[in-house]
């Protein structure tokens, strides 16, 4: 039985450490904010200039001027800071982000990531993804294991334009948690009811199981 999006986000939140500065990408990764363990102080950052993002607002808390990079309304935690976009990117490019959790279209066996465009389709641009994969100390990709059309998303080699080469440290999907190691992809955890055979049948690279 595959994990739901909420369960995937909760599993990704288990990878957070106390004191981490973390950037959450657009889409599914934004759900992680709802599952940050209460005993951790984690500083969630957004490229548009927010450090200290809190959980989604209740209806009476919505402030249309307080949004993240995905244009979703947010709250802030005590100690939060608002800064310029240039300052925010200086944090990212300067290597001050402990972790970024991003969505993905394709990930290769060596940790290459493609997550910003499909050739021939209209796109607004890469956004901060290239800066994030180059500047964050650790990169987790949070995505469904296969595409809607059934095509594999974890491949020997990415066919889509790359966001970064050898940048991904871990992949969390609806089927498994997979570490990207120097010797290949190592499965750390399977979703309940998912077998090794099923996971391998939906993954192009050969997986190793602990």
Q: Which of 6, 38, 47, 59 is catalytic?
A: 47
198 is catalytic: no
CA distance 100 to 207: 24
Name residues whose C-beta falls within 8 Å of residue 75's C-beta, 6 or more positions apart in sequence. 53, 54, 55, 56, 57, 61, 66
SS3 21: strand
CA distance 75 to 54: 5
For residue 131, which phi and psi values (nearest 5 degrees)? Answer: -65, -40
Active site positions, annotated: 47
């Amino acid at each position: 039985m595959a994990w739901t999006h909420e369960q995937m986000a909760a599993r990704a939140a288990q990878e957070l450490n106390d004191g981490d500065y973390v950037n959450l990408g657009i889409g599914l990764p934004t759900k992680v904010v709802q599952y940050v363990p209460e005993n951790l102080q984690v500083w969630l950052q957004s490229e548009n200039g927010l450090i200290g993002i809190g959980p989604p607002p209740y209806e009476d808390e919505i402030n249309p001027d307080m949004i993240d990079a995905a244009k979703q309304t947010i709250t802030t935690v005590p100690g939060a800071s608002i800064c310029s976009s240039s300052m925010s990117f200086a944090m990212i490019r300067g290597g001050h982000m402990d972790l970024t959790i991003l969505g993905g279209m394709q990930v290769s066996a060596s940790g290459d990531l493609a997550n910003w465009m499909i050739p021939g389709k209209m796109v607004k641009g890469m956004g901060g993804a290239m800066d994030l994969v180059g500047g964050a100390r650790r990169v987790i990709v949070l995505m469904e294991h296969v595409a809607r059309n059934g095509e594999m998303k974890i491949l020997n080699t990415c066919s889509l334009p790359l966001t970064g080469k050898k940048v991904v440290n871990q992949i969390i999907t609806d089927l498994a948690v997979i570490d990207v190691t120097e010797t290949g992809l190592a499965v750390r955890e399977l979703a309940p009811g998912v077998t090794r055979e099923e996971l391998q049948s939906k993954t192009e690279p050969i997986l190793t199981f602990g």
